[in-house]
Amino acid sequence: MAREFSRTQRIADQIQRDLAQVIQFEIKDPRMGMVTISHVKVAKDLGYCDVYITVLPLGDQDEAESIAVSLDVLRKAAGFLRHELSHKIKLRVMPQLRFHFDESVERGRQLHSLIEKAARELRDKEASDEE
């Protein structure tokens, strides 16, 4: 049986696709790192949508600085981005855009490294027990 998607989920997917293109081609701020939109969540009344991003730092910026600067640039450009989205997506009400850093990707990396470390220690212990 096919999985059914709600209207808000379909709108969120469309916003994610179109917003990624607008950010890539229209935002020309050199301070902003490479931004990836990982998830978009739209409220049921279409009043706002939460946009979760990840950032790859450019140049000699550290990761925390790049995240802060990129979020600041996107938050200041939210009105422009909303206007551009309204031309691409025909909705009666275009949701307000709220940008957040997606910490789940970084948390996944940390958990993966902990699992790898534990597995390596277990292999080393088994190898030393055999000798």
The pLDDT of residue 31: 85
The pLDDT of residue 57: 82
- Decide if 123 is inside a domain: no
Direct distance between the N- and C-terminal alpha carbons of the chain, in angstroms, rounded to an integer: 55
The pLDDT of residue 51: 96
Binning the chain into helix, strand and coil, the percentages to the nearest 5 are 55, 20, 25
CA–CA gap between residue 101 and residue 74 (Å, rounded): 11
The pLDDT of residue 1: 44
The pLDDT of residue 58: 79
Range of the structural domain that residue 36 is part of: 7-102
The pLDDT of residue 29: 85
How many domains does one find in the chain?
A: 1
Question: The CATH number of the domain where 84 resides is what?
Answer: 3.30.300.20
The low-confidence residues of the chain, meaning pLDDT below 50, are 1
- Decide if 2 is inside a domain: no
The pLDDT of residue 50: 96
Structural element, H or E, at residue 39? strand 34-42
Confidence (pTM): 0.79
- Decide if 30 is inside a domain: yes
The pLDDT of residue 28: 87
